[in-house]
Amino acid sequence: MHRTNLTAATADESWGGLVLELPHPTGPGLRPEVADGNRMVLAQGPDVVFFAEVDDERCGVEYLRTDRYRSPVAPLRAAEARAVGGQGQPSWYARWAHRFAGVLEASPVGPLHEGKWVLSRRLLGEGTTRTGDGPAGRWRSRLLDDHPDGYIDWFTGSWGVMPLRRMPPPDDGRVKSYRKQAREGVLPPVLLWWFSGLNCYVILDGHARLAAAVAENREPAVLALSRAQSEERARAGTDKALSTYHLTMSVLDGPHLLTDRRAPARAASRLLATQLHDIEVGHAPTRAWPMPVAHRTGPGTPRA
Protein backbone atom coordinates (compact mmCIF):
# COMPACT_ATOMS: atom_id res chain seq x y z
CA MET A 1 0.00 0.00 0.00
CA HIS A 2 1.27 3.45 -0.92
CA ARG A 3 0.57 6.33 1.49
CA THR A 4 0.61 10.07 0.76
CA ASN A 5 0.15 12.81 3.34
CA LEU A 6 -2.11 15.69 2.31
CA THR A 7 -1.44 19.26 3.35
CA ALA A 8 -4.19 21.16 5.12
CA ALA A 9 -6.24 23.93 3.54
CA THR A 10 -5.22 26.48 6.18
CA ALA A 11 -1.77 27.82 6.90
CA ASP A 12 -2.02 27.08 10.64
CA GLU A 13 -2.32 23.32 10.08
CA SER A 14 0.30 21.16 8.38
CA TRP A 15 -1.60 17.87 7.93
CA GLY A 16 -4.92 17.49 6.16
CA GLY A 17 -5.30 13.76 5.56
CA LEU A 18 -3.71 10.54 4.41
CA VAL A 19 -4.29 8.96 0.98
CA LEU A 20 -4.02 5.17 0.80
CA GLU A 21 -3.56 3.44 -2.56
CA LEU A 22 -4.03 -0.31 -2.84
CA PRO A 23 -2.96 -1.36 -6.36
CA HIS A 24 -3.67 -5.08 -6.15
CA PRO A 25 -7.15 -6.61 -6.03
CA THR A 26 -8.04 -7.63 -2.51
CA GLY A 27 -11.28 -9.00 -1.14
CA PRO A 28 -12.30 -7.03 1.96
CA GLY A 29 -13.13 -8.94 5.09
CA LEU A 30 -15.74 -6.30 5.96
CA ARG A 31 -17.99 -5.56 2.97
CA PRO A 32 -21.45 -4.22 2.11
CA GLU A 33 -23.64 -6.64 0.15
CA VAL A 34 -26.84 -5.69 -1.68
CA ALA A 35 -29.82 -7.45 -3.28
CA ASP A 36 -33.23 -6.62 -4.76
CA GLY A 37 -32.51 -2.91 -5.01
CA ASN A 38 -33.31 -2.08 -1.39
CA ARG A 39 -31.81 -4.78 0.82
CA MET A 40 -28.28 -4.73 2.17
CA VAL A 41 -26.13 -6.36 4.79
CA LEU A 42 -22.71 -5.60 6.22
CA ALA A 43 -20.82 -8.90 6.18
CA GLN A 44 -17.60 -9.70 8.01
CA GLY A 45 -16.19 -12.99 6.86
CA PRO A 46 -19.03 -15.53 7.19
CA ASP A 47 -20.92 -13.37 9.70
CA VAL A 48 -23.52 -10.65 9.13
CA VAL A 49 -22.90 -7.53 11.22
CA PHE A 50 -26.24 -5.93 10.38
CA PHE A 51 -29.23 -6.32 8.09
CA ALA A 52 -30.81 -3.24 6.49
CA GLU A 53 -33.70 -2.46 4.16
CA VAL A 54 -34.48 0.84 2.45
CA ASP A 55 -38.16 1.73 2.72
CA ASP A 56 -40.35 1.84 -0.38
CA GLU A 57 -40.51 5.66 -0.39
CA ARG A 58 -36.70 5.92 -0.25
CA CYS A 59 -37.01 8.17 2.80
CA GLY A 60 -34.89 6.08 5.14
CA VAL A 61 -33.65 2.65 6.09
CA GLU A 62 -34.42 0.11 8.81
CA TYR A 63 -31.53 -1.79 10.36
CA LEU A 64 -30.88 -4.65 12.74
CA ARG A 65 -27.51 -5.28 14.39
CA THR A 66 -26.41 -8.81 15.22
CA ASP A 67 -23.65 -8.16 17.81
CA ARG A 68 -21.18 -10.15 15.69
CA TYR A 69 -18.88 -7.27 14.76
CA ARG A 70 -15.13 -7.64 15.35
CA SER A 71 -12.91 -4.57 15.25
CA PRO A 72 -9.94 -4.77 12.86
CA VAL A 73 -7.90 -2.81 15.45
CA ALA A 74 -6.51 -4.54 18.53
CA PRO A 75 -7.23 -2.80 21.86
CA LEU A 76 -5.11 0.34 22.24
CA ARG A 77 -3.06 0.40 25.41
CA ALA A 78 -2.71 3.45 27.64
CA ALA A 79 1.07 3.40 27.25
CA GLU A 80 0.73 3.66 23.47
CA ALA A 81 -1.77 6.52 23.76
CA ARG A 82 0.57 8.45 26.04
CA ALA A 83 3.57 7.72 23.82
CA VAL A 84 1.87 9.28 20.78
CA GLY A 85 1.53 12.51 22.74
CA GLY A 86 -0.99 15.24 23.38
CA GLN A 87 -4.29 15.25 21.56
CA GLY A 88 -5.39 17.57 18.80
CA GLN A 89 -2.25 18.69 16.95
CA PRO A 90 -2.04 17.94 13.20
CA SER A 91 1.03 15.75 13.76
CA TRP A 92 -0.91 13.77 16.39
CA TYR A 93 -3.68 13.03 13.89
CA ALA A 94 -1.08 12.12 11.26
CA ARG A 95 0.62 9.59 13.55
CA TRP A 96 -2.68 7.92 14.40
CA ALA A 97 -3.74 7.91 10.74
CA HIS A 98 -0.56 6.03 9.78
CA ARG A 99 -1.06 3.68 12.74
CA PHE A 100 -4.63 2.86 11.65
CA ALA A 101 -3.61 2.55 7.98
CA GLY A 102 -1.03 -0.11 8.81
CA VAL A 103 -3.49 -2.04 10.95
CA LEU A 104 -6.26 -1.90 8.33
CA GLU A 105 -3.92 -3.06 5.58
CA ALA A 106 -2.90 -6.11 7.61
CA SER A 107 -6.32 -6.98 9.00
CA PRO A 108 -8.37 -9.82 7.46
CA VAL A 109 -11.60 -8.32 8.87
CA GLY A 110 -11.28 -4.70 7.67
CA PRO A 111 -12.97 -2.86 4.77
CA LEU A 112 -9.99 -2.01 2.52
CA HIS A 113 -10.03 -3.18 -1.10
CA GLU A 114 -8.17 -2.09 -4.24
CA GLY A 115 -8.35 1.58 -5.14
CA LYS A 116 -7.71 4.91 -3.46
CA TRP A 117 -8.85 5.74 0.08
CA VAL A 118 -8.63 8.75 2.37
CA LEU A 119 -8.25 9.04 6.14
CA SER A 120 -9.09 12.54 7.31
CA ARG A 121 -10.60 14.59 10.12
CA ARG A 122 -13.41 15.82 7.86
CA LEU A 123 -16.94 14.68 8.69
CA LEU A 124 -19.95 15.32 6.50
CA GLY A 125 -22.69 17.32 8.18
CA GLU A 126 -20.41 18.95 10.75
CA GLY A 127 -22.11 22.28 10.20
CA THR A 128 -25.63 21.02 10.77
CA THR A 129 -27.52 22.14 13.84
CA ARG A 130 -28.10 19.38 16.35
CA THR A 131 -29.86 19.28 19.68
CA GLY A 132 -28.00 19.28 22.96
CA ASP A 133 -25.47 21.56 24.56
CA GLY A 134 -21.77 20.84 24.53
CA PRO A 135 -19.90 17.93 22.94
CA ALA A 136 -21.85 15.28 24.85
CA GLY A 137 -25.20 16.62 23.66
CA ARG A 138 -24.06 16.99 20.06
CA TRP A 139 -22.67 13.46 19.90
CA ARG A 140 -25.64 11.88 21.65
CA SER A 141 -27.86 13.43 18.99
CA ARG A 142 -25.58 12.16 16.23
CA LEU A 143 -25.32 8.58 17.50
CA LEU A 144 -27.65 6.01 15.95
CA ASP A 145 -27.52 3.82 19.03
CA ASP A 146 -30.98 2.23 19.15
CA HIS A 147 -30.15 -1.39 19.87
CA PRO A 148 -30.47 -3.88 18.33
CA ASP A 149 -32.70 -2.29 15.68
CA GLY A 150 -33.63 1.18 14.53
CA TYR A 151 -34.52 3.46 11.63
CA ILE A 152 -32.47 6.15 9.90
CA ASP A 153 -34.65 8.98 8.61
CA TRP A 154 -32.70 10.47 5.73
CA PHE A 155 -34.54 13.77 6.06
CA THR A 156 -33.43 14.30 9.65
CA GLY A 157 -30.76 11.71 10.43
CA SER A 158 -28.24 11.84 7.58
CA TRP A 159 -24.52 11.92 8.45
CA GLY A 160 -25.13 10.22 11.77
CA VAL A 161 -22.73 7.78 13.42
CA MET A 162 -23.78 4.14 13.80
CA PRO A 163 -22.12 1.87 16.37
CA LEU A 164 -21.57 -1.63 15.00
CA ARG A 165 -22.12 -3.09 18.46
CA ARG A 166 -23.87 -1.95 21.62
CA MET A 167 -22.34 1.21 23.10
CA PRO A 168 -20.81 0.47 26.52
CA PRO A 169 -22.15 2.38 29.56
CA PRO A 170 -20.13 5.13 31.31
CA ASP A 171 -19.20 2.79 34.19
CA ASP A 172 -17.86 0.03 31.93
CA GLY A 173 -14.29 -0.91 32.85
CA ARG A 174 -12.82 0.01 29.45
CA VAL A 175 -14.75 3.28 29.39
CA LYS A 176 -13.43 4.21 32.85
CA SER A 177 -9.87 3.69 31.62
CA TYR A 178 -10.50 5.78 28.52
CA ARG A 179 -12.20 8.50 30.58
CA LYS A 180 -8.93 8.94 32.44
CA GLN A 181 -7.12 9.28 29.09
CA ALA A 182 -9.72 11.83 27.98
CA ARG A 183 -9.03 13.93 31.08
CA GLU A 184 -5.29 13.65 30.42
CA GLY A 185 -5.77 14.77 26.80
CA VAL A 186 -4.27 11.62 25.24
CA LEU A 187 -7.41 9.68 24.23
CA PRO A 188 -6.82 8.14 20.75
CA PRO A 189 -9.22 9.08 17.94
CA VAL A 190 -12.34 7.14 17.07
CA LEU A 191 -12.03 5.43 13.67
CA LEU A 192 -15.10 5.89 11.46
CA TRP A 193 -15.97 4.60 7.98
CA TRP A 194 -18.29 6.38 5.55
CA PHE A 195 -21.09 3.98 4.52
CA SER A 196 -22.95 5.68 1.68
CA GLY A 197 -25.66 3.00 1.49
CA LEU A 198 -26.91 4.19 4.87
CA ASN A 199 -25.80 7.81 4.37
CA CYS A 200 -23.98 7.69 7.69
CA TYR A 201 -20.70 6.76 9.32
CA VAL A 202 -20.14 3.48 11.13
CA ILE A 203 -17.67 3.00 13.98
CA LEU A 204 -14.83 0.74 12.85
CA ASP A 205 -12.98 1.09 16.14
CA GLY A 206 -13.44 3.14 19.28
CA HIS A 207 -16.90 2.43 20.70
CA ALA A 208 -15.54 2.66 24.25
CA ARG A 209 -13.39 5.72 23.43
CA LEU A 210 -16.42 7.55 22.06
CA ALA A 211 -18.44 6.58 25.14
CA ALA A 212 -15.63 7.92 27.34
CA ALA A 213 -15.44 11.25 25.52
CA VAL A 214 -19.22 11.69 25.74
CA ALA A 215 -19.21 10.76 29.45
CA GLU A 216 -16.55 13.43 30.07
CA ASN A 217 -18.41 15.96 27.86
CA ARG A 218 -15.35 16.32 25.63
CA GLU A 219 -15.19 16.57 21.86
CA PRO A 220 -13.94 13.19 20.62
CA ALA A 221 -11.12 13.17 18.12
CA VAL A 222 -12.15 11.26 15.00
CA LEU A 223 -10.54 9.97 11.82
CA ALA A 224 -12.89 9.06 8.99
CA LEU A 225 -12.07 6.47 6.33
CA SER A 226 -13.71 6.77 2.92
CA ARG A 227 -13.10 5.88 -0.69
CA ALA A 228 -11.49 8.77 -2.56
CA GLN A 229 -13.37 10.51 -5.33
CA SER A 230 -12.80 9.26 -8.86
CA GLU A 231 -10.21 11.06 -10.97
CA GLU A 232 -12.96 12.25 -13.32
CA ARG A 233 -15.02 13.78 -10.52
CA ALA A 234 -11.96 15.28 -8.84
CA ARG A 235 -10.85 16.83 -12.12
CA ALA A 236 -14.30 18.33 -12.74
CA GLY A 237 -14.39 19.77 -9.22
CA THR A 238 -10.89 21.20 -9.60
CA ASP A 239 -11.74 22.81 -12.95
CA LYS A 240 -14.85 24.40 -11.45
CA ALA A 241 -12.97 25.75 -8.43
CA LEU A 242 -10.19 27.19 -10.60
CA SER A 243 -12.70 28.75 -12.98
CA THR A 244 -14.47 30.48 -10.09
CA TYR A 245 -11.16 31.69 -8.68
CA HIS A 246 -9.95 33.10 -12.01
CA LEU A 247 -13.30 34.83 -12.55
CA THR A 248 -13.10 36.41 -9.10
CA MET A 249 -9.55 37.62 -9.68
CA SER A 250 -10.44 39.05 -13.09
CA VAL A 251 -13.23 41.06 -11.45
CA LEU A 252 -10.82 42.33 -8.78
CA ASP A 253 -8.34 43.32 -11.50
CA GLY A 254 -11.05 45.13 -13.49
CA PRO A 255 -11.36 48.85 -14.22
CA HIS A 256 -13.46 49.67 -11.14
CA LEU A 257 -11.79 51.29 -8.17
CA LEU A 258 -11.06 49.31 -5.02
CA THR A 259 -9.58 50.95 -1.97
CA ASP A 260 -7.84 47.69 -1.13
CA ARG A 261 -8.05 44.51 -3.22
CA ARG A 262 -5.77 42.53 -0.92
CA ALA A 263 -8.48 41.39 1.50
CA PRO A 264 -10.87 40.01 -1.16
CA ALA A 265 -7.92 38.46 -3.02
CA ARG A 266 -6.81 36.67 0.15
CA ALA A 267 -10.38 35.50 0.73
CA ALA A 268 -10.56 34.12 -2.81
CA SER A 269 -7.26 32.29 -2.33
CA ARG A 270 -8.42 30.80 0.98
CA LEU A 271 -11.67 29.66 -0.63
CA LEU A 272 -9.76 28.02 -3.48
CA ALA A 273 -7.45 26.22 -1.04
CA THR A 274 -10.44 24.97 0.96
CA GLN A 275 -12.26 23.77 -2.15
CA LEU A 276 -9.20 21.93 -3.48
CA HIS A 277 -8.64 20.30 -0.08
CA ASP A 278 -12.30 19.24 0.12
CA ILE A 279 -11.91 17.57 -3.28
CA GLU A 280 -8.84 15.67 -2.05
CA VAL A 281 -10.62 14.35 1.06
CA GLY A 282 -14.09 14.07 -0.51
CA HIS A 283 -16.16 10.93 0.04
CA ALA A 284 -16.94 8.62 -2.88
CA PRO A 285 -19.80 6.08 -2.70
CA THR A 286 -19.04 2.92 -0.76
CA ARG A 287 -18.50 -0.09 -3.00
CA ALA A 288 -20.89 -3.03 -2.52
CA TRP A 289 -20.92 -6.68 -3.60
CA PRO A 290 -23.80 -8.98 -4.63
CA MET A 291 -25.45 -10.54 -1.60
CA PRO A 292 -25.05 -14.33 -1.44
CA VAL A 293 -28.15 -16.42 -0.82
CA ALA A 294 -26.94 -17.33 2.67
CA HIS A 295 -27.14 -13.66 3.73
CA ARG A 296 -30.54 -12.87 2.22
CA THR A 297 -32.55 -14.06 5.17
CA GLY A 298 -31.91 -13.98 8.83
CA PRO A 299 -33.78 -14.01 12.11
CA GLY A 300 -35.37 -10.65 12.68
CA THR A 301 -34.38 -9.18 9.33
CA PRO A 302 -36.22 -5.84 8.92
CA ARG A 303 -39.53 -6.44 7.13
CA ALA A 304 -38.24 -9.72 5.70
Question: Is the backbone peptide bond immediately before 148 cis, with ω within 30 degrees of 0?
Answer: yes
pLDDT recorded at residue 304: 38
Residue 104 has pLDDT above 70, yes or no: yes
Q: What pLDDT, on the 0 to 100 scale, is given for residue 20?
A: 95
Name which residue leads in pLDDT, 198 or 257: 198
Provide mean pLDDT across the span 5-21: 79
| More confident of the two residues 23 and 249 | 23
Q: What's the mean pLDDT when you consider all of the chain?
A: 85
Residue 224, strand partner residues: 120, 192
Q: Greater confidence, 241 or 43?
A: 43
Rounded to an integer, the average pLDDT of 209-214 is: 98
Percent of the chain's residues with pLDDT above 70: 83
The contacts of residue 19 (CB under 8 Å, 6+ apart) are 3, 4, 5, 6, 116, 117, 118, 228, 280
pLDDT tier for residue 37 given thresholds of 50, 70 and 90: confident
Look up residue 28 and give its DSSP letter: -
- The reported pTM is 0.83
Number of H helices, E strands in the chain: 7, 13
Which pLDDT tens digit goes with each residue over 276-303? 656 666 678 899 999 998 887 654 444 4
Helix (H) or strand (E) run with residue 273 in it: helix 262-280
Q: What angle do CA 218, 284, 301 make, to 5 degrees?
A: 75
Give residue limits of the domains in the chain. 2-228+282-295, 231-279
